[in-house]
Structure 1
Amino acid sequence: MANPYINDQAARSESASALGRLLADSYMIYLKTQGFHWNVVGPQFEPLHALFQEQYEELARAIDEIAERMRALGVKAPGSFAEFAALTSITEETGAPAAPTMISQLLSDHTTAARAALQAVTAAEARGDVATADLATVRVVQHEKVAWMLGSFLER
């Protein structure tokens, strides 16, 4: 039986809308993580500097995949700070907080992004959009993994 989703642009747009929120959250975390990579100081400098670089590089790849999936769904991907700011649930950081605060913020941000990714999974599955559901599931796993890693830095 054919999946009616393939020809249903309204359903495709709804999947893309959920991805747009995930894209905005991912991009804001990317910016924050890269800024923290540049500005981290203190006794944990070396491991955090390396970890933040690894994380923002992974986010850059994910951002591209999410945006390209939106385009495959026939929807324009947001690409400006104004669009991202309107869609994101992530709070911007303009300062250079202490390393434990950086870690706490990113832990919270990745938890928020995991929820956005789960919402994208749910929206896509409800419409029979298995490709978007698959992509968003991978993002849930990745954001939860990063949250766990960051949380490990805060344990005593």
Structure 2
Amino acid sequence: GQTHICHWNVRGPGFFALHAAFEMQYTELFTAVDEIAERIRALGALAPGGLGNLAQMAGVKEIAEDASAEAMVQHLVDVNEKLVTTLAKARDLAGDADDSQTEDLMIARIQVHQKTIWMLKSYLA
């Protein structure tokens, strides 16, 4: 995914901090994707295959491998903001369908992505 690309290719004075931060983020994202995929299966649908498919479905463009550290961080801010919007729509649909389990899952994911946005923006400040 996008965070993996940033983790592998970040360079510059902030390398160590960003490399570690990106690793924490992609590790958390892997667990989240698994939880969401299992919820989709519990609802009787087939889960989309892989992070790449999910990113494509969300309309996320890939970051260039040679992007600057600041461009990587800004890109991940943008991706997380897009995810918050998408998750909020899913939360509302789940609420309309009286699916409180999915609604709770979406609320929890929104909180994680909002915290990630705050942390990434703090790096850019």
Residues 94/143 of structure 1: CA separation in 2 closer, same or farther (3 Å cut): same
Task: Write the letter of the residue equivalent to 2:61.
Answer: T
- What is the CA-CA distance between 1:87 and the residue it aligns to? 1.5
- Please state whether the residue corresponding to 1:96 is helix, strand or coil: coil
The equivalent of 2:58 in structure 1 is 88
Unaligned 5+ runs, structure 2: none
- Give the direction of change, closer, same or farther, for the CA distance of 1:129–1:142 in structure 2 (3 Å limit): same
Question: Structure 1 stretches of 5 or more lacking a match?
Answer: 1-30
Matched length:
125
SS at match of 1:93: coil
Please report the TM-score for the alignment, with normalisation by the length of structure 2. 0.94
Q: Percent identity?
A: 39
Cα separation, 1, equivalents of 2:108 and 2:35: 11
CA deviations 1:48-83 (Å, max 9, x no partner) are 000000000000000000000000000001115774
- The 2-side partners of 1:67 and 1:104 are apart by 27
Q: Which segment is superposed worse, 129-138 or 74-83?
A: 74-83
Larger displacement relative to structure 2 (37-46 or 77-86):
77-86
Q: Corresponding residue for 1:111?
A: 81
Partner of 1:45: 15
Normalising by structure 1, what TM-score? 0.76
- More relative contact order, 1 or 2 (CA 8 Å, 6+ apart): 1
Say whether 1:57 aligns with 2:50.
no
Runs of 4+ in 1 over 4 A off after TM superposition: 80-83
1:140 aligned partner:
110
Structure whose alpha-carbon radius of gyration is higher = 1
Partner of 2:43: 73
